[in-house]
Chains A and B, each alone.
Chain A
């Protein structure tokens, strides 16, 4: 979802679960990428990220995003 929505030039297999998405040593995403991720997560999983503080927490890396989605889906089940 991330590679497709953000049109990343990196294959999914090369993105480690714990690789930071933003900042030093990261995948190099920016705030516009974050915006697209927030919209895509709500569209695909119903996961609403209400504010920038929550976004910073959830969008740290693929692992934290997966945890948030799993928690959302478990809550909905």
Chain B
């Protein structure tokens, strides 16, 4: 496979790190840029292990200016950008009746605005290349909309709709845009659930186990691979059979 230049946002968390490893393993020539902001220990460690192929990028994903500078830095260094994985996100759960305006706005911004800004920032480069892959990490919450996640579900549902709409806009330019909807994944966020909540979650999963970050990363990498050239506007659930 030819070398590719990949940018992954939210690259410090368990899922971001797994996605980075998947692309590094895909080809010894790939260069993976890890978009991070405040939390960066895992990303720094990955970058130290493969300094030639794994680079840190300070990126405030809710800032258009930061995105512009970040993409400029990548293209200045590598002369191309082949894959964007919009993985950054956050949730602040609570019942809508008690949710603060800040909780609503921050979650919409971190999940949906960031995806919009990221896509807009990379498109000129990908249009110029007449090639590109954008994979947006949404969530099963976009489709199931569980109670206590009106903000997160709305944001991720927005990511799904943005994905499908943008895919149509850029399809004939050789750019594919797809979304992955992970279900319950064994990451730090799941560790916050108490025993009762974990048992309840497991009982809803036909596979009776949580997903591993590597399993989600494999789906992301598949949608971004050259062989997925006729797949665009798709929403791939990776959920152990819940939906």
Contact = CB atoms under 8 A, between A and B. Distances in A.
A42 B124 CA distance: 10
Interface stretch (A17-25, A31-39, A66-74): A31-39
A43 B128 contact: yes
The size class of the interface chain B forms with chain A is under 10
Interface string A1-42: 000000000000000000000000000000010011001101
Contacts of A42: 124
B4 to A, nearest CB: 21
A40 B130 CA distance: 11
Interface string B147-175: 00000000000000000000001101100
A42 B173 CA distance: 17
A66 B124 CA distance: 21
Instruction: Label chain B's interface by main secondary structure.
Output: helix
Interface string A32-60: 10011001101100000000000000000
B127 interface: yes
A1 to B, nearest CB: 12
Nearest to B126: A39
A64 B128 CA distance: 22
Contact of B172 (A32, A40, A43): A32
A43 B130 CA distance: 13
A26 B238 CA distance: 46
B127 A36 contact: yes
Interface string B22-37: 0000000000000000
Contact of A40 (B128, B169, B170): B128
Contacts of A35: 127, 169
A39 B128 CA distance: 7
Interface of A: 32, 35-36, 39-40, 42-43
